Copies of this chain bind each other. A is one copy, B any other.
Amino acid sequence: MRPRDEHKEYQIRQKAIELIVAEGLDGFGVNKLARSAGVSPATIYIYYKDKEELISSICVGVAEKMMTFSLQNFSPDMDFADGLRVQWRNRLEYFMQCPLDMEFIEIMRYTHFYEKVTAMLTVNFGQVLGAFMRNAEEKQQLIPLPFEVYWAVAYAPLYQLIKFHNQGNSYVNSSFKLDDKLMEQALGLVLKALKP
């Protein structure tokens, strides 16, 4: 039998992400994607059952890649400040390498497609980072907190900075670029908030 053209498979996924980031989920269509990826619409249906499964699959794929990346060089029993810094650095590095992925996930976050991502993240991400938080508490490097309060203070500021960066500006500055120095400054504040 004829083997799959892996380049086509890749092109479909890549162009789908590009199109959705550029034009949003509305404005995204299978025929448009086919033209953009240089394949026939029918070919897309060899790989995916329907449009729903196409988007869903890409969504989970990207989320898995992001999660794996952000857990690089990380272990739940690391020193609290070190562990949090590794997490921040990984996320920032991933974003610098794959800015489209980040924007793509942000768009998907408020669609029903994200439910599968949440389920996946809960199993993999939640376990590891929940353990990290509990360990840090035991070592008295972190104030005892409900998980959600901890998470909101520990990670949300980073995502907001990335959002400003993606947007290219903020409410008062017409141009904004996130760099290592700014990240460290924000991380310093977060650590100050969370340490006993």
Which residues of A does B touch, CB under 8 Å? 24-26, 28, 103, 106-107, 110-112, 118, 121-122, 125-126, 129-130, 143, 145-149, 151-153, 155-161, 164, 167, 169-173, 176, 178, 182, 185-186, 189-190, 192-194
| A112 proximity list for chain B (CB < 8 A) | 24
> Nearest residue in B to A107 (C-beta to C-beta)?
B110
A92 to B24, CA, bound (A): 28
User: Hey, which chain B residues are within 8 Å of A170, CB to CB?
Assistant: 126, 147-148, 151
A145 to chain B: closest residue by CB: B185
Interface residue SS majority, chain A: helix
A161/B152 in contact, CB under 8 A: yes
Closest to A170 in B: B148
**Residue of A151, A164, A172 with most partner-chain B CB within 10 A:** A172
Residue among A161, A167, A169 with max Cβ neighbours from chain B (10 Å): A161
Q: Which residues of B contact A111 (CB under 8 A)?
A: 24, 26
Are A164 and B186 touching (Cβ within 8 A)?
A: no
Residues of B within 8 A of A107 (CB): 110
The reply to whether A160 and B171 form a contact with Cβ atoms under 8 Å apart is no
In the complex, what residue of chain B is closest to A51 when comparing beta carbons?
Answer: B26
Give chain B nearest CB distance to A37 CB in angstroms. 19
Q: Which residue of B lies closest to A108 (CB)?
A: B110
Closest B residue to A131 by beta carbon equals B172
**Closest approach, in angstroms, between the C-beta of A175 and any C-beta of chain B?**
11
Give CA–CA (A169, B114) in the complex, Å: 13
